[in-house]
Structure 1
Amino acid sequence: MTETRIFSDQVVTPAGQIAAELVLTDGLITALAPAEAPSPQALDWRGDLVIPGLVDIHTDNLEKHYQPRPGALWDAYGAALAHDGQCVTAGITTVFDSLSLHGRKDGLDRKDALGPMIGAMDRAQKDGALRADHLLHLRCEVTNPELLTLLEPHADNPRLKLLSLMDHTPGQRQTANVERLQERMAASGRSAEEIEEVLARRHAGRDPGVAYDNRRKVVAFAREYGLPLAAHDDETLEHVEEAHDDGCAIAEFPVTLAAARRARELGMAVAMGGPNFVRGGSHSGNLSARESAEAGVLDILASDYVPLSMLRAAFMLIDESGWSPQAAIATVTSGPARAVGLSDRGELAVGQRADLVRVSRRSAGWPIPVEVWRQGQRVA
C-alpha cells in the first residue's frame, strides 16, 4: 500500500474551494479533510489550486499528429505518444480520442487512417506507454454508405465508450452557412472550382435513405453494446427532439441557442468547444460557447482541437463570467465524466480515482498545469 499526502489552501471540491489535505492510497482518494497547514508528511502546494484531472470527450488532436502536414503521414505509434503527451501536460487525465468514420480532412483519408490510429493507441496503452487514460469516441457520419462496415470491427474494443451521430451535408447543421464554409475552404487555398466540386460531391453523396437507415443502425448498435450517444451539431428543435428520442445523452456542439436550450429541457448535457469559448466564437460562425454559458446551458467543455483550451476556458468562467470554482471546474471534469457514464473520476472526493492537477495562477491570464497526477502517480 502506497500513500501520498497533498496539502493546498485551494482545493476545489464539489462543495466549494477549501484548504484541505488529501490522502492518496493505491490510486484512489482515501481521505480529504479541511486543514489549515500541511501535516509533516504532506507535499505543500500552498498558493496553487488542486483540481480533478480533466476529462476530454471530444478531440481531433490525434489526427494532427498522425498527419502533421497535408500529405505527410507520421508513424502512428509516435503520433499516439505525441498526442498523449500534449493532452496530459494540458491537465487531461482521461481523453476520448474522437475519430471520424467518414471523408477527408486536410487531405487525410479518414477511412484509411482509422485502423492505424486505433491500432497504435491500443498498442501504446498495452505497452504502458501512455500517461493519460485513452478511451475511444467514434464519430458516425450517417451519410456514409460504408459506415457500419467501419464501425462494426471495433464493437469489442474495450476502449470504445462513446458514439456520436453526425451529418455534415452543406446547408444545414454545422455548415448551415454555406458562404462561411466557402470562405473557410478558400482560406485553406482551394480554388473556386475545387470548392464547387467539393460541395457538389457532398450533396451528391447524401442519400436520405442511407442517412436514415444508418442513423437507426447506429442507435441500435449503441443500445446493444450499452454505449452512450451524442448528437453532433443539432440546429433545430426537431433535430434535438429526434436525438432525445434516439437516446442521446449529450448535445455536442449545438449550433443554435434554441437547440441548446431544448436539449437542456430534455435532460441532455450540452457540450461546447474550449477553443470556441477562448476565442469568443465558433470558427464556423455558429453558437458561441460564451453565449451558451451566459444563457445557463453549458455543462461540458471539450478540447475539440486545442487541448490546453479546456483549462483556460474553465478559469475564464471563474474570472470573467463569475462562476464558482466548483461549477466552472465541473465543466471539464465531473460534467463530461458523468455524461458518458464514468462515475469513478471527475471529483476530488473520497473513493474517486486519484486523478488531479496542480494549477498555478502566477502568470497573467493562462492557468498553468504544473503537476498532473493519474491514479495517484505523477505523470507530468
Structure 2
Amino acid sequence: MEKRIYSNAVVTPEGMVAAEVVIRDGAIAAVDERTGPSAAALDWSGDMLIPGLIDIHTDNLEKHYQPRPGALWDAYGAALAHDGQCAAAGITTVLDSLSLHGRKDGLDRKAALGPMIGAMDAARAEGALRAEHLLHLRCEVTNPELLSLLEPHADHPRLKLLSVMDHTPGQRQTADVGALQARMAAAGKSEDEIQEMLVRRHAGRDPTVAESNRRSVVAFAREYGVPLCAHDDATIEHVDEAHADGCVIAEFPVTLDAARKARDYGMAICMGGPNLVRGGSHSGNLSARLCAEEDLLDILASDYVPLSMLRSAFLLMDLYGWPAEKAVSTVSAGPARALGLSDRGEIAPGQRADLVRVRRPPGGWPAPREVWREGLRVA
C-alpha cells in the first residue's frame, strides 16, 4: 500500500525542501519536490518532517527497571515504559546501553542484565515495541567478571555496539575526585558512603586485569564485527590507544584535546544531548556546546533524557546557525553510519520510512506530533 506525506519543510540530505514523501512497503520510494500536496497526500504543511532519531547511548531502561533506589519494577513493564518514552521523543532506533559493571544507585547490574535483555527480547518477539531496540554493551575494563558477562551475548542478534570504559575515580570522567564527592553529597550520600565507594573502586582496580580485559574486548569486537567506541577519553594517549584498537566512535570525550585528536583520526565524536541542552556537562567535563562551536560534533545521544536529542538538534540550528540537514544528521544519519546501518537515518529513496513530524512554536521546544517507523505510525 502506498502512502504520501507532504511537508513544506522536509529535511533531506541535500537540505530542507517542500516535498511529498512517497512510502511503499515500509520504505521511502520517492521524495518529490512540489509546492503543495497531491490529493492523496497527508498535508503536514507548517510542520517539519525529519528522519527518525537514532540513539546510540541511553541509560533509560535501567531507570525504568529500578524507578527508585532498591525498588525493582517488572522487567517487561520496564521495557514497555522505556520504549514508549523513546518513541514519544521521536526515537525510532535505540541502543539500550547496559553496563557490565557493579552497582549504580543500589542496582546490581550483574543481576539486572539478564532480565532486562530477556524482557526486551520478549517484547520484541511479541510485537509490543514501537521503536527498534538494539543493544550496546558497556564494558568496564576494571571488572574481573567482565568477560563472563560479555561472552554469553556474543551471538545476540541485537548486539550492535561495544564500548570500553574505565570509571575509576581520579581519571577520565571523574578526574576531579572532589567534584565527584560533592555530587554524591548533593545526592544524599553520607561521608562514610562516599569514602566506602572510593576505597572499593580503587581497591578493585587491578591494572593488569584492566589491560587484559581491554585487549579481550577489542578482540571480541573484531571477531564478531561489532563496532567499538572509546568512552571518556581525556588525553592524546587515550585517543591514540582507541584508534589503534579500532574504535570508530569517540563517546563523550572529556577534553577538547581528546576531541580534536579523535577528529584527526576520523572517529565520529558523540556527546550527550543533556550536556548540550543544559549548557554543560553535569560532571564538569567537556561541553557539547564547545564541541559544536569547534565543529567537533557528529553524534548526539540521549544519555539519560530521551527528549534531549530533538531539542539538541534544534539548538544547533538556533545557536550556531547549522543548516537543518547538518543539525538533524547528528541524531539520525550520523549515528546510523557510525554503526554501519545504511538503511536508515535519511529522508531519501531506499531508506526506511522512519519519520518524525515536528511542530515548534516560535522560540519553544520542538515537539514530535507523529512518529512513524517503517511506514507505520507508532506515536
Question: TM-score under structure 1 normalisation?
Answer: 0.99
Give the whole-Å Cα distance in 1 for the aligned partners of 2:334 and 2:36: 30
Alignment of 1:64-79 (within 5 A): 64-79=63-78
Q: Which amino acid is the alignment partner of residue 192 of structure 1?
A: E
1:100 aligns to what? Answer: 99
Cα drift, residue 362 of structure 1: 2.5
1:22 aligns to what? Answer: 21
- The DSSP-based 3-state class of the residue aligned with 1:310 is helix
Deviations along 1:232-291, one digit per CA (max 9) or x if unpaired, are 000000000100000000000000000001001001000000000000000000000000
- The DSSP-based 3-state class of the residue aligned with 1:320 is helix
Alignment of 1:281-292 (within 5 A): 281-292=280-291
Give the whole-Å Cα distance in 2 for the aligned partners of 1:157 and 1:275: 30
Give the whole-Å Cα distance in 2 for the aligned partners of 1:76 and 1:191: 30
CA RMSD of aligned residues (A): 0.6
Q: Which amino acid is the alignment partner of residue 30 of structure 1?
A: A
Give the whole-Å Cα distance in 1 for the aligned partners of 2:91 and 2:263: 26
Give the whole-Å Cα distance in 1 for the aligned partners of 2:127 and 2:298: 32
Task: Tell me whether 1:357 sits opposite 2:347 in the alignment.
Answer: no
Q: Which amino acid is the alignment partner of residue 352 of structure 1?
A: Q
Q: Which amino acid is the alignment partner of residue 10 of structure 2?
A: V
Give the whole-Å Cα distance in 1 for the aligned partners of 2:125 and 2:227: 24
1:151 aligns to what? Answer: 150
1:253 aligns to what? Answer: 252
Task: Tell me whether 1:141 sits opposite 2:140 in the alignment.
Answer: yes
Deviations along 1:20-73, one digit per CA (max 9) or x if unpaired, are 000000000001011100000000000000000000000000000000000000
1:82 aligns to what? Answer: 81
1:318 aligns to what? Answer: 317
1:215 aligns to what? Answer: 214
- The DSSP-based 3-state class of the residue aligned with 1:221 is helix
Task: Tell me whether 1:61 sits opposite 2:56 in the alignment.
Answer: no
Deviates more, 1:183-192 or 1:93-102: 183-192
1:200 aligns to what? Answer: 199
Give the whole-Å Cα distance in 2 for the aligned partners of 1:186 and 1:281: 20
Aligned length: 379
Give the whole-Å Cα distance in 1 for the aligned partners of 2:234 and 2:71: 35
* Same amino acid, percent of matched pairs: 75
Give the whole-Å Cα distance in 1 for the aligned partners of 2:343 and 2:18: 23
Cα drift, residue 364 of structure 1: 4.1
- The DSSP-based 3-state class of the residue aligned with 2:321 is coil
2:183 aligns to what? Answer: 184
Question: TM-score under structure 2 normalisation?
Answer: 0.99
Give the whole-Å Cα distance in 2 for the aligned partners of 1:45 and 1:239: 47
Structure 1 consecutive aligned stretches of length 4 or more whose deviation exceeds 3 Å? none
Alignment of 1:260-279 (within 5 A): 260-279=259-278
Cα drift, residue 363 of structure 1: 5.9
- The DSSP-based 3-state class of the residue aligned with 1:231 is strand
Q: Which amino acid is the alignment partner of residue 355 of structure 2?
A: L
Gapped runs of 5+ residues in structure 2? none
Deviations along 1:157-188, one digit per CA (max 9) or x if unpaired, are 10000000000000000000101100111111
- The DSSP-based 3-state class of the residue aligned with 1:83 is helix
1:111 aligns to what? Answer: 110
Give the whole-Å Cα distance in 2 for the aligned partners of 1:347 and 1:254: 26
